[in-house]
Structure 1
């Protein structure tokens, strides 16, 4: 087993003191154990209300404290992303939770400790998105050039099992676009967002099973009456929704080979977007056992 692979699969030995800033894998295991199983996570994604997906409440407090310092240094989270975290077209080598998808026998990511993970200050100077050429596509597709994309691991992952990778696909071109979303379903997409599954050998859990999974959300006080979701539409409407997410679906299938990975992906509706104006796709990926 390589050093990086060992880090990815390690369990904390002895006491692991909690730190500040983005957590390490050892800290997640020791202090923020998963509240959801993989099956429950897929149920939440397929429920129709993406607001069910949560970060551990104590980890959220740690994030909130970190964000105060980031806002003071960079002016905003968006400035931090644009000036430091997102490196368009390049491989993510800043994550403390590196993806096994990126590890090759001779091409291993640098494992950065919390003490070495320093932020290069830009003194709060904002930087706009890079100027886009005239031939830039109007919206995200499975063939969008890598220079318009930044694929990183979520530094602050949701409360998912440690073997589930939580990846963010940031894109300079929009995911929601009128050419993809028929007017008849636009209000539904605005409320619910988009989601899908790849590499699954059985259908994703039915939304009807959600009540049996809600106890996993007890820490957040979620009950069935608090859900925000649309009723299932007609066959035609459901097909239009599927088409609206087809480009994202094809992108995920291409990056996470269905022979090796099972994924649940989603794009938050505007009401749930943490960074409005900068499109991103969440991908939860589980490597299949061979």
Structure 2
């Protein structure tokens, strides 16, 4: 099993912050829990940069999957095993528009990940007394990378006051 993690707060390709259309932790949590994940999106400026990158990358690599497997996910070099998925956690290079202090990460795999695997992975890599998270898988109609299973994970340090539980997940959107 390959387990690669990049620490939260690692700058992505887009480190510029946009003051408009920024989603709070409470909004992200609410949208995931109420199955409104399509409401969480990139800032229009980030989306424009992403679209330009997408066009250039498709022209060079043919597919986003080819790009990812030859660059960021090159560690996926063997056959996938359904019982023991290899995963790589990376910052989203084109993150959704969330407030400062929330990290948008992507957990990549060659096989679909169960909610229990994702939860176990997060608990083993991020101390639940320090971190809280929420995660989901985009529905097929809005997935830009359909052939490589990945989970969108939003992480933040827990506030000192009691807060939402760390086990925020929307299992209806995770392929088992």
**Equivalent residue pairs, number:** 151
Partner of 1:252: 122
Task: Report how far residue 61 of structure 1 moved.
Answer: 1.0
Q: Does 1:150 align with 2:150?
A: no
Q: What is the rounded CA distance, in whole Å, between the counterparts of 2:74 and 2:130 in structure 1?
A: 27
Inter-partner Cα distance in structure 1 for 2:60 and 2:144: 19
TM-score between both structures, scaled by the size of structure 1: 0.47
TM-score computed with the length of structure 2 as normaliser = 0.75
2:66 to 79, 96, 99: 79
**Cα distance in 1 for residues equivalent to 2:55 and 2:140:** 23
Within-5 A mapping of 1:188-203: none
CA distance in 2, matches of 1:74, 1:161: 33
Gaps spanning 5+ residues in structure 1: where? Answer: 1-7, 10-20, 89-128, 176-243
Q: 1:22·1:63 contact (CA, 8 Å) conserved in 2?
A: no
- Larger relative strand fraction: 2
Q: 2:13 aligns with which of 15, 22, 27?
A: 22
Q: Distance in 2 between matches of 1:87 and 1:284?
A: 24
Distance 2:88 2:21 in 1: 26
Q: How far does residue 87 in structure 1 lie from its aligned partner after superposition?
A: 3.9
Of structures 1 and 2, the larger Rg is shown by: 1
| Superimposed CA distance per residue, residues 81-108 of structure 1 (whole angstroms, 9 cap, x where no aligned partner) | 11112243xxxxxxxxxxxxxxxxxxxx
CA RMSD of aligned residues (A): 2.5
| Superposition deviation, residue 131 in structure 1 | 3.5
1:131 aligns with 2:78: yes
Please identify which structure carries the higher helix content: 1
Q: Is the 8 A contact 1:87 1:150 kept in 2?
A: no
Check the 8 A contact 1:154/1:166 in 2, yes or no: yes
Equivalent of 1:173, from 111, 117, 121? 111
Indicate yes or no: 2:55 matched with 1:68.
yes
Counterpart contact for 1:34–1:161, Cα < 8 Å = no
| Greater alpha carbon shift after TM alignment, 31-40 vs 257-266 | 31-40
Task: After TM superposition, give the deviation of residue 265 of structure 1 in Å.
Answer: 1.1
What SS does the aligned partner of 2:79 have?
A: coil
Q: Are 1:275 and 2:145 matched, yes or no?
A: yes
